């Protein structure tokens, strides 16, 4: 009995060392995975403005190209209740104006610490080319 009693502590020590080394390996791998995830999150945060601006720029350019082909040569602005426009501008100005406003909002987004406000405004400026197209193409 003494023999088996003395062997038990040495076996449990060996088992604890094996468990300890396995736990240390898992802990090291988990630390490396966390470091990679942290690095990805840091870069995603740094590039957030570019990621948010990409679809806005794409659709602003698409709408400008579409409007440059489909708007009439003289575009009416400020539709009156009588059905006539208060002002008319050239097609180029009607295309470049909303495009410039959208890009100005994106520049403000890149200069601002609070990117979401200017980004949301730049999303709303994408409605200007659509409203110009609707008001000048389809009669009321």
pLDDT, residue 2, reads 53
3-state secondary structure of 133: helix
Domain locations in the chain as residue ranges:
1-46, 48-137
Q: Is the pTM of this model over 0.75?
A: no
Percent of the chain surpassing pLDDT 70? 84
pLDDT greater than 60 at residue 7: no
> Is the distance from CB of 95 to CB of 71 less than 8 angstroms?
yes
User: What is the C-alpha to C-alpha distance for residues 65 and 9, in angstroms, rounded to an integer?
Assistant: 81
């Amino acid at each position: 009995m003494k023999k088996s009693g003395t062997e038990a502590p040495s076996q449990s020590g060996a088992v604890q060392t094996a468990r300890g080394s396995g736990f240390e390996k898992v802990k090291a791998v988990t630390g490396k995975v966390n470091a990679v995830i942290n690095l990805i999150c840091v870069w995603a945060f740094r590039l957030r403005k570019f990621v948010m601006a990409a679809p806005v720029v794409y659709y602003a350019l698409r709408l400008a190209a579409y409007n440059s082909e489909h708007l009439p040569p003289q575009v009416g602005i400020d539709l009156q209740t009588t059905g006539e426009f208060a002002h008319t501008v050239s097609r180029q100005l009607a295309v470049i104006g909303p495009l410039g406003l959208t890009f100005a909002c994106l520049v403000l987004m890149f200069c601002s610490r609070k990117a979401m406000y200017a980004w949301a405004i730049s999303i709303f400026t994408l409605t200007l080319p659509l409203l110009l197209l609707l008001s000048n193409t389809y009669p009321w």
